[in-house]
Amino acid sequence: MSSPLQLPSDQNLVDPSQVNLVDSIIRKTREKKLYWNKAKPGFVAVIPVTGQPSLVPMRLEFHCTPSIAPSFPQGWQHFVVTTNEGIVLRADNSMISGVIAKLAGAGSNPLLERIDQLFALVTQVGEGSLERAKNVIDRL
């Protein structure tokens, strides 16, 4: 079982395969091949493992910060990708560490930038229970 990959604060330490994974998730979300559901902690997408029903499906999760007011947008705290091998990617979004990194002169983190793009997309396409039920009925 692989250990979770924590985000480094320096862009030079970011694993390009992690960035590629998030780019693929963004692409599949835009193509409407990944369905995101609003859940209590945030948003979840579950991807079944085709041809191997005994394996645990891949799970993509955003754990969100609660919105304090309608004019204040919801943000994400953690993004986790879990496969049958366990957590393969875990990204933590901390405003404090981001501010400290900028003050220290560190460059931007391409992985965090991609996850921010994904979160913006997911908040547009994610469905709650009522929305999902209505869309299923509409497709009949």
Q: What is the pLDDT of residues 121-138, one digit of tens each?
A: 998 888 766 776 777 677
Of the pLDDT bands very low, low, confident and very high (cuts 50, 70, 90), residue 98 is low
Q: How many domains does the chain have?
A: 1
Largest CA distance in the chain: 56
Predicted confidence at residue 104, as pLDDT, reads: 57
In-domain check, residue 45: yes
In-domain check, residue 132: yes
The pTM (predicted TM-score) of the whole model is 0.74
In-domain check, residue 3: no
In-domain check, residue 81: yes
- Distance (Å, whole) CA 94 – CA 105: 17
Domain containing 112 equals 11-139
In-domain check, residue 98: yes
Predicted confidence at residue 49, as pLDDT, reads: 78
- Distance (Å, whole) CA 85 – CA 52: 14
In-domain check, residue 6: no
In-domain check, residue 41: yes
